[in-house]
């Protein structure tokens, strides 16, 4: 599915505030999705193995399978939204869109690459800070992970096109859609 490239070509980059608000909103929505997926995994794992919840939480195999399960469904959600319409619910709320090269709809490969790179930048800080609360020797690593999360934004700040690092590497852009005109009655 491709969109009208001439219509998207004139679209400006989304503002910093809207990108940040969309990131926060997507994080909240993804957190809810992860909780539902984790619950579904535990129910299914208990059904197939007969293990109770405490045993599932201590099983390395179960935890690895749960990580794969949650990651696959989360990636599928983002890749589906970005490659189909260019928008997640958060991007739609803030009238932003992910576009690919030549300002058309991003390809599935571009969306997978964008998701993978964004995950590498944004996921490490949270668990590292939780671990650093219990082990002070991990605090430097937690601060380093925060720097990693800031890297795409610093990249965008110094670039003329104002695109985040993972967008630049994936060949995508976040653009601002125009406000819809109200039609007279």
Q: Which ranges of 50-138 would DSSP assign to H, the alpha helix?
A: 53-58, 60-84, 89-93, 108-122, 125-134
- Percentage of the chain modeled with pLDDT above 70: 92
Torsions phi, psi for 107 (to 5 deg) = -75, 165
In degrees, to the nearest 5, what angle opens at C-alpha 22 toward C-alphas 20 and 24?
Answer: 70
Residue that the structure tokens 């852009």 belong to: 173
Instruction: Give per-residue pLDDT as tens, 131-150.
Output: 888 888 988 988 988 889 99
* Contacts for 129 with CB less than 8 Å, ≥ 6 apart: 142, 145
Instruction: Give per-residue pLDDT as tens, 90-116.
Output: 999 999 999 998 888 999 999 999 999
Candidate from 123-127, 151-155, 158-162, 163-167 with smallest mean pLDDT: 123-127
């Amino acid at each position: 599915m491709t969109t009208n490239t001439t219509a998207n070509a004139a679209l400006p980059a989304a503002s910093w505030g809207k990108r940040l608000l969309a990131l926060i909103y997507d994080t909240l929505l993804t957190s809810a999705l992860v909780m539902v997926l984790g619950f579904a995994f535990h129910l299914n794992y208990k059904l197939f193995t007969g293990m109770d919840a405490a045993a599932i939480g201590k099983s390395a195999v179960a935890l690895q399978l749960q990580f794969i399960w949650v990651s696959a469904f989360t990636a599928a959600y983002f890749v589906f939204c970005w490659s189909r319409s260019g928008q997640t619910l958060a991007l739609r709320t803030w009238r932003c869109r992910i576009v690919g090269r030549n300002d058309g709809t991003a390809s599935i490969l571009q969306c997978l690459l964008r998701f993978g790179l964004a995950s590498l930048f944004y996921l490490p800080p949270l668990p590292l800070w939780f671990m650093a609360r219990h082990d002070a020797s991990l605090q430097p690593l937690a601060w380093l992970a925060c720097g990693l999360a800031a890297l795409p934004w610093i990249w965008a700040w110094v670039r003329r096109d104002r695109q985040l690092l993972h967008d630049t590497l994936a060949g995508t852009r976040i653009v601002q859609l125009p406000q819809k005109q109200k039609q007279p009655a």
